């Protein structure tokens, strides 16, 4: 009921999965990832337990092939299971039971596995691997999405489309696990989940750029002290990049104006604020709250928030 790609990024060691199906909420079922440990796709007549148990086996030092064999050999209905695993060193293993609904199959590449069942044809997973390989050098998320799009364009799930997931975790085991999830997107119910999750991935990148500035000490949080011109220009560039993606969402444009004001570029800041207020009047009183919180001097923005 699913086609998916799992991979280890050869550049960074990150693990990722992209998957689409004609079933609700595929993100809670198919993909299991752990930073520095590996990634697992469990699908067809899915045994969800393969995910957490497989990660435990990888964590204990088993290779991908050995972990897969352990799971399949211990299952009560292996004929209807489909399973793919990539371990911490990039080793790939996959399995398609003989009872999986056709078209069904899997292919392995360099630190990548594509697989699917209930597909329009084998071209679905074949085209996924070609697209992933052809996109070498692009960002990891873009490569996973290229594979997902290729699978959908080749016919995808024979029953249609409903949900998708895109998730990437770091290739290292850090002390702060929450910092090692790099991207985590789900589309649970949508007529075109591949297009929708691609749109969300672009938004996620824009908000990463925005958050990198909003949460930066000195640049935005606390006193604006010893911020170099290079730091300022890098922050403005990130906000401009986010603003170009966000469109009618004025969050990046607003914080860009705040940053210009913090940097003493008052004329530019005033013009930017007025542009924001013209498109979203509710941002004008919000600026007063931002000033009161210490991001700007209340006196400095008094004229801007006057109605």
| Chain segment 11-23, per-residue pLDDT in tens | 999 999 999 999 9
Mean pLDDT calculated for residue range 141-163? 96
Indicate yes or no: pTM above 0.85: yes
pLDDT (0 to 100) of residue 178 = 78
Question: What 3-state DSSP class applies to 277?
Answer: helix
Q: Residue 33, Cβ neighbours under 10 Å: how many? A: 24
User: In the predicted model, what is the mean pLDDT of residues 290-303?
Assistant: 85
Q: In this predicted structure, what is the pLDDT of residue 306?
A: 60
Split at pLDDT 50, 70, 90, the class of 302 is: confident
Report the pLDDT averaged over residues 91-106. 97
Helix, coil or strand: residue 113:
strand
Res. 177: pLDDT tops 80: no
Segment (H or E) for 116: strand 112-117
Work out the angle at residue 136's Cα, subtended by the Cα atoms of residues 135 and 140, and round it to the nearest 5 degrees: 85
Determine the 3-state secondary structure of 108 from DSSP: strand
pLDDT in the model for residue 176: 79
Element (H, E) at 291: helix 283-292
pLDDT at residue 1 in the model: 66
pLDDT tops 90 at residue 195: yes
pLDDT in the model for residue 192: 97
Residue of higher predicted confidence among 175 and 56:
56
pLDDT tens for residues 42-97? Answer: 999 999 999 999 999 999 999 999 999 999 999 999 999 999 999 999 999 999 99
Q: Are 94 and 68 in contact (CB under 8 A)?
A: yes
Instruction: Say whether pLDDT at 145 is over 90.
Output: yes
| Interacting residues of 280 by C-beta distance below 8 A, sequence separation 6+ | 250
- Of 182, 207, 199, residue with least CA distance to 16: 182
298 vs 143, higher pLDDT: 143
- Region 229-236: mean pLDDT is 97
**Which residue carries 């052809």 as its tokens?**
134
Q: How many CB atoms within 10 Å of residue 77?
A: 11
Q: Kindly tell me if the per-residue pLDDT of 128 is higher than 60.
A: yes
Per cent of the chain over pLDDT 90 is 93
Q: What is the dihedral of CA 65, 70, 74, 77, to 10 degrees?
A: -10
Measured distance CA(104)–CA(137) in Å, rounded: 29
pLDDT at 174 over 80: no
Mean pLDDT of the chain: 95
Tell me if residue 182 falls in helix, strand or coil.
Answer: strand
Give yes or no for residue 194 having a pLDDT over 90: yes
| Measured distance CA(116)–CA(289) in Å, rounded | 51
pLDDT digits (tens, 9 = 90+) for 247-259: 999 999 999 999 9
């Amino acid at each position: 009921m699913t086609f998916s790609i799992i991979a280890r990024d050869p550049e960074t060691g990150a693990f990722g999965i992209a998957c689409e199906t004609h079933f609700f909420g595929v993100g809670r079922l198919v993909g299991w990832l752990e930073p520095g440990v590996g990634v697992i796709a469990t699908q067809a007549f899915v045994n969800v337990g393969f995910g957490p148990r497989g990660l435990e086996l990888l964590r204990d030092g088993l290779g991908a092939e050995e972990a897969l064999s352990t799971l399949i050999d211990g299952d009560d209905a292996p004929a209807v299971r489909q399973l793919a695993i990539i371990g911490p060193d990039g080793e790939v293993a996959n399995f398609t039971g003989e009872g999986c609904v056709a078209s069904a199959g899997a292919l392995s590449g360099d630190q990548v596995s594509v697989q699917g069942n209930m597909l329009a044809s084998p071209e679905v997973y074949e085209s996924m691997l070609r697209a992933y390989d052809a996109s070498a050098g692009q960002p990891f998320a873009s490569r996973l999405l290229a594979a997902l799009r290729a699978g959908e364009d080749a016919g995808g799930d024979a029953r249609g489309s409903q949900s998708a997931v895109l998730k990437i975790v770091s290739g290292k085991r850090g002390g702060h696990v929450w910092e090692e999830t790099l991207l985590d997107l789900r589309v649970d119910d949508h007529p075109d989940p591949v297009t929708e999750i691609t749109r969300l991935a672009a938004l996620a990148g824009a908000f990463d750029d925005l958050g990198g500035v909003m949460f930066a000490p000195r640049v935005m949080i606390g006193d604006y002290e010893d911020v170099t011109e290079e730091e300022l220009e890098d922050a403005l560039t990130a906000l401009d990049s986010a603003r170009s993606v966000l469109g009618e969402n004025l969050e990046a444009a607003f914080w860009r104006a705040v940053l210009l004001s913090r940097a003493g570029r008052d004329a530019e800041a005033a013009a930017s604020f007025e542009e924001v207020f013209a498109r979203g009047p509710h941002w004008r009183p919000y600026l007063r709250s931002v000033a009161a919180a210490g991001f700007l001097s209340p006196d400095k923005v008094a004229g801007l928030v006057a109605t």
